[in-house]
Amino acid sequence: MQGAAVAVTAVLPVLLAGCLGPLPQPLVGLNQRLEAAGPARGPSLAGDWLALIVSQGGRDRVQLVDLQRQQPVPLPGLERPDAQPLSVAVDGRGERLALVRQLEGRTELVLYRRNLMALQPVPLQPPGVPRRVALRADGRELAVEVSRQGQWQVDLIAVP
């Protein structure tokens, strides 16, 4: 009887694994580094790049992580201490980041080009309040959720 119980216990995980199929595997090393960086939200994954919003020292900031090197990369010209990032998206080369942020009482959509270290405002026409942004993996187009007169809309904007 005891032998049967042992046999069932041994076979059960195999049977369950067969029923469930392959499972996603957590990337343990990367996850530990992300955990150590602080509370985080709003991930955007493309190619070997992860953009996310991390809380550090009581304020939220955009972080871009090179997944090959498992290290954040600097984003000179992107951060302002008085800006509050709301949503971020990265392209597959890690070159372009689209960002919705609150600054000086208004919410704006901007595009950051890492090779130029330059931030470019993306005007909304007609005007509206942006909230969430997504970027095509090739970086050629972004999709942004915009509030206009109490209604949520999605604008598709080609990136020059």
The residues that touch another protein, with contacts defined as CB under 8 A, are: 21-27, 30-31, 34-35, 39-47, 50, 52, 67, 92, 113, 116-123, 125, 131-132, 134-138, 140-145, 151-160
Beta bridge partner(s), residue 111: 98, 120
What's the closest the beta carbon of residue 97 comes to another protein, in angstroms? 13
Using DSSP, state whether 145 is helix, strand or coil: strand
Compare residues 9 and 125 and give the one whose CB is closer to another protein: 125
CA neighbor of 48 nearest in space, from 30, 21, 26: 30
Q: Which two tokens stand for residue 147?
A: 């509030």
Q: Which is nearer to another protein, 40 or 102 (CB)?
A: 40
CB of 103 to another protein, least distance (A): 15
Min. distance of Cβ 84 from another protein in angstroms?
15
- Nearer of residues 2 and 56 to another protein, judged by Cβ: 56
Nearer to another protein, 9 or 151 (CB): 151
Residue 147 sits at φ, ψ, to 5 deg, of -95, 125
Whole-number Cα distances in Å, 49 to 12, 94, 119, 124, 145 = 39, 6, 19, 27, 23
CB of 102 to another protein, least distance (A): 18
d(C-alpha 117, C-alpha 140), whole Å: 18
Structure tokens at 101: 């942020």
Rounded to the nearest 5 degrees, what angle is found at the Cα of 16, between the Cα atoms of 15 and 17?
A: 90
Nearer to another protein, 2 or 71 (CB): 71
Closest approach, Cβ 11 to another protein, in A, equals: 21
